[in-house]
Structure 1
Amino acid sequence: MLERPAEMFDREREWADLSAFATDPRPGALLGVVSGRRRQGKTFLLRSLCQATGGFYFPADEAADRESLNRLGALMADHVGAPAPLAFDGWHQAIDAILGLGRERRIPVVIDEFPYLVRANPQIPSIVQNALAPLRAERDESRTALLLCGSAMSFMGRLLSGNAPLRGRAGLELVVPTLDHQLAARFWGIEDPATALMAHAIVGGTPAYRREFARDDTPAGPDDFDPWVVRTVLSPSSPLFREARYLLADEPDLRDAGLYHSVLAAIASGNSHRGGIASYLGRKSGDLAHPLTVLEDCGLVIREPDVFRDNRTAFRIAEPLVAFYHAVMRPIWSDLEHTRDTGRLWQRSRRRFVGNILGPHFEQVCRAWTRQMAGPELFGDYPNRVGSGTVNDPANRTSHEVDVAVFGLDDDNRQPLLAIGEAKWGDVMGLGHLDRLRRIRSLLAAQGRLGAGTARLACYSGAGFTSELVRIAGEDPEIVLIDVAGLYA
């Protein structure tokens, strides 16, 4: 594997995959696709790869087709040491020239922001397909490792799907994700777990938000969190202030911006189900199928099935900053732009932050931690599936929300229920929460749910636990307590 740059934070798996692709010893040209939301460090990864291997990096612009060809010819001439820019009549010739760069050795060639080129010339994916056709001499005699990169998630998701021209051509499909809550805390240098989680609920795990956007301004601790929000995210002079709006503008499929902003606002206001979103917008539930699908394809919304009810689905905003914008900033946008007392506006909005953003985000972090980081001893086996769901209680004519439902996988490929859990950010959890979980467990057992009778009861709290609950949990291994520090352990 190529030596990873010392200044690169994490991204060990991504670097290993790119290194293996860029040094593949087999003959013939290769195609790879790299995608991910903006500001995740894709460009840094790919530029570093080219520097480590002597590869060629071409950053596409929003430009006319002819201008892009001219820029490619000029940059390629600089790369090969030609005395004058290379002249390409079209993309057929340009792609063959790219394949020619790898005639003597394996070399990565990166076309960054590939969607910009396709927007100006929709034929380019088909041209790449034909250039990489089997038994074609230009492909077979080349060792170019061509990497197409883009941030428009809906476009990149379609590039290799269905009947797309490049389907079946790629040997690498790499999605660069955001940093999880633990890595984000390390990257931001936040040692206090509660402060780290509150910051993650706003800026998520996007690396650029610390370095380029906040200029390394990080909350020093719990007492500095509110001032940090005021001087960074809510400051009109900060790039973070308008970033959520730009994220939507970056997606070419979001043509009716007002409609998509309203759908996101509905979800950020606590309407996680289709009916609630429709009621918020004053529309029929069936009218939301298209906008919700588009937002899902763009990576802005995640569809989460109810683990206990097959016909029920919840929607969650994937990007924390977008959720924060719609729940907190958008309702007071004009005031934020013109007031001198942003601190007062933040204090007025803090309740919305805690209820609409921090609480649901804490639940999601608890689910992610349980699925990806919890050991088998905690729930009696490795979690195979973790989600949330609703359990009906006919006797009391009500239903119960389960924040964390943990399923395993047995030798017969069945998924027994390992645990059910409740997550509360601002509540000190006690015996009342435990009794509620016991009631839900008995309901699931009565329904015949596999493993429900022995499922463990998990309490996740951002405010701690009563001494009585701690004492009982110490005596009963079926009760699991996880605080904020535990999520960062």
Structure 2
Amino acid sequence: MGRENVSFVDREKELGFLEERYRSGRAELLILYGRRRVGKTELLRHFAVGKRPVFFVATLGSRAAHLASFSEVLGQRFADVLGAEVRFDSWEAVFRFLGRRARDERLLVILDEFPYLVQADPALPSVLQKLWDEELRHTRLFLVLCGSSVSFMEGELLAQKSPLYGRRTGQYLLLPFDAREAGMFFPNKSPKERLEIYGILGGVPAYLEQFSPDEALFENVQRRILQKGSYLYDEVRFLLMEELREPKNYFAILRAIATSKTRLNEIAQSAFGEGEARKAAFYLDTLQELRLVERRVPVTETKPHKSRRGIYRLQDNFFRFWFRFVYPYMSALEAGQTELVWKEKIAPFLPEYMGQVFEEVARGYIARAAASERLPFIPERVGAWWDGHEEIDVVAIGEGGRKLLLGECKWSTRPVDLPLLEDLRRKGEYLRRSVGLRETEFHYALFSREGFTKRLERRACEDGVLLVTPADIFE
């Protein structure tokens, strides 16, 4: 079992956004969305404390069932004027009633899992648009439409074709936590342990809550991921079945990427066979909308969407871990051999796996470091760079390309020494020649799991090289 009643962690920025809009006193139509398990409902529940909200969580069902359930919610919230037996027979009647109540009071109305309501009644957005234009925008209504179907929320509510286009007063995509935020779930773990947990679970709150802060990593992995019947054991398949109409095709795409097929043709051939690039591209687009897959190009590319050097990678750490270490050994896990899988198939390869995670965390750190004035310039873009011969883990570009910061990451068991810095400088000169950066000013950063030797620390101090350890990431 994971932890129960975990305290609400870190959504201060998101709560601040909602509170600021709430204090405006004006009519607000906000759209809050994000993938399943990311904490949308929990965020809204915390925001609603003390505000006497109308809070309705939709489920799969018919229009009549939704109206009956919502009528019960309204009957309880407005028992003094409606009574327990009230029944609204249309969404128009519902919103007209809410509009009347919001003339004289700040009224918070939250419709969670809004896509289910629209699935049962496709006319609902048009009804809401009509009433918003006629009367709701002149009230003190604070209406939040929340949904987990990212493709629906972006394609049907935020897109120009939507009846609600131009009516929303704000929108917020709730993302998983980054490494630093995820580490707040485990304040008593060391920085290295927090990074390992993040590398395995990613930043989805529902996943982070499964791990016990009092148990070692191998115990948590065996009991909460590898053990048949545990919450995370088959989470990937469950999530794909919940979100997508053809889960087996998406599964094939994800599996191909997880097995180092990173280019479109490679992915298509692995998932579907020869000549299926167009089919694979369709599924990849959807997976990118869900933030499960991302397409990357070298950060120096000036037209990323047209670049032929793009590669695909799994964006979600838990999906990466599951496809790398769980799915291939399902037969052994079904037989209860969790300890054997951990000892022989996971533990020996975890440092290598964490190397890529550490690189991603390093890029995120650089994107934040400018705010604390640890960088000599404000980055405009942060990413990686590669060609057929060399690769640089971290590249930050600033001042229109006149300044670059190059970084190298090492998730190894020994402190990093001078040769790594010298090799990074060599790669910098190679990049300068390859991309034509004769006038560019270069800066350097090194990221190390186990810190740095004394002589490297002295050189870094002399040359202005940024040195970063796991402890720095969680400052």
Give the structure-2-normalised TM-score.
0.89
In structure 1, C-alpha distance between the alignment counterparts of 2:219 and 2:8, rounded to whole Å:
29
Deviations 1:309-339 (A, max 9, x none): 4512232323221221111111112321222
Equivalent runs, 1:379-390 vs 2, <5 Å: 379-390=375-386
Deviations 1:224-255 (A, max 9, x none): 2222211222122321222222222221xx22
**Cα–Cα, structure 1 residues 453 and 169, in superposed 2: closer, same or farther, change >3 Å?**
closer
Q: CA deviation at 1:369?
A: 0.7
Secondary structure in structure 1 of the residue aligned to 2:49: helix
Secondary structure in structure 1 of the residue aligned to 2:68: helix
- Counterpart of 2:197, as a letter, is A
Q: Determine which of 218, 221, 227 is the counterpart of 2:213.
A: 218
Secondary structure in structure 2 of the residue aligned to 1:307: coil
Does the 8 Å CA contact 1:327/1:352 hold for their aligned counterparts?
Answer: no
- Counterpart of 1:246, as a letter, is F
Q: Percent sequence identity over matched residues?
A: 31
Q: Determine which of 426, 433, 438 is the counterpart of 1:446.
A: 433
In structure 2, C-alpha distance between the alignment counterparts of 1:119 and 1:450, rounded to whole Å:
53
Deviations 1:270-309 (A, max 9, x none): 3333244234334444432111101011222222232134
Q: CA deviation at 1:359?
A: 2.0
- Partner residue of 2:42? 44
Whether 1:418 aligns to 2:404 is yes
**Cα–Cα, structure 1 residues 474 and 250, in superposed 2: closer, same or farther, change >3 Å?**
same
Whether 1:326 aligns to 2:316 is no
Equivalent runs, 1:245-394 vs 2, <5 Å: 245-251=237-243, 254-281=244-271, 282-284=273-275, 285-309=277-301, 310=304, 311=307, 312-339=309-336, 341-350=337-346, 354=350, 357-374=353-370, 378-391=374-387
In structure 1, C-alpha distance between the alignment counterparts of 2:473 and 2:438, rounded to whole Å:
25
- Partner residue of 2:128? 128
Does the 8 Å CA contact 2:151/2:290 hold for their aligned counterparts?
Answer: yes
Secondary structure in structure 2 of the residue aligned to 1:362: helix
Does the 8 Å CA contact 1:61/1:116 hold for their aligned counterparts?
Answer: yes
In structure 2, C-alpha distance between the alignment counterparts of 1:163 and 1:353, rounded to whole Å:
48
Decide which moves more: 367-376 or 287-296.
367-376
In structure 2, C-alpha distance between the alignment counterparts of 1:368 and 1:45, rounded to whole Å:
23
In structure 1, C-alpha distance between the alignment counterparts of 2:182 and 2:439, rounded to whole Å:
35
Does the 8 Å CA contact 2:182/2:208 hold for their aligned counterparts?
Answer: no
Q: CA deviation at 1:356?
A: 6.8
Deviations 1:5-26 (A, max 9, x none): x953321111121112223223
In structure 1, C-alpha distance between the alignment counterparts of 2:424 and 2:265, rounded to whole Å:
27
- Counterpart of 1:250, as a letter, is E
Does the 8 Å CA contact 2:28/2:137 hold for their aligned counterparts?
Answer: no
- Partner residue of 1:229? 221
Deviations 1:364-394 (A, max 9, x none): 1110011113557544112221101214xxx
Q: CA deviation at 1:257?
A: 1.2
Q: CA deviation at 1:261?
A: 1.0
- Counterpart of 1:264, as a letter, is L
In structure 2, C-alpha distance between the alignment counterparts of 1:218 and 1:376, rounded to whole Å:
29
Does the 8 Å CA contact 1:444/1:452 hold for their aligned counterparts?
Answer: no
In structure 1, C-alpha distance between the alignment counterparts of 2:347 and 2:439, rounded to whole Å:
36
Secondary structure in structure 2 of the residue aligned to 1:302: strand
Does the 8 Å CA contact 2:9/2:184 hold for their aligned counterparts?
Answer: no
Q: Determine which of 187, 193, 196 is the counterpart of 2:194.
A: 196
- Counterpart of 2:248, as a letter, is G
Does the 8 Å CA contact 2:114/2:147 hold for their aligned counterparts?
Answer: yes
- Partner residue of 1:401? 391
Deviations 1:426-474 (A, max 9, x none): 3644444333322221123224644775312222222444554344323
In structure 2, C-alpha distance between the alignment counterparts of 1:245 and 1:356, rounded to whole Å:
25
**Cα–Cα, structure 1 residues 378 and 200, in superposed 2: closer, same or farther, change >3 Å?**
same
Q: CA deviation at 1:403?
A: 1.1
Does the 8 Å CA contact 2:404/2:440 hold for their aligned counterparts?
Answer: no
- Partner residue of 2:3? none
Give the structure-1-normalised TM-score.
0.87
Decide which moves more: 122-131 or 81-90.
81-90
Deviations 1:35-64 (A, max 9, x none): 122223221222233332112111111111
- Partner residue of 1:394? none
Q: Determine which of 138, 143, 147 is the counterpart of 2:140.
A: 143
Aligned residues: 459
- Partner residue of 1:457? 444
Q: CA deviation at 1:263?
A: 1.3
In structure 2, C-alpha distance between the alignment counterparts of 1:49 and 1:372, rounded to whole Å:
26
- Partner residue of 1:15? 15
In structure 1, C-alpha distance between the alignment counterparts of 2:393 and 2:102, rounded to whole Å:
52
- Counterpart of 2:331, as a letter, is S
In structure 1, C-alpha distance between the alignment counterparts of 2:351 and 2:280, rounded to whole Å:
25
- Partner residue of 1:395? none
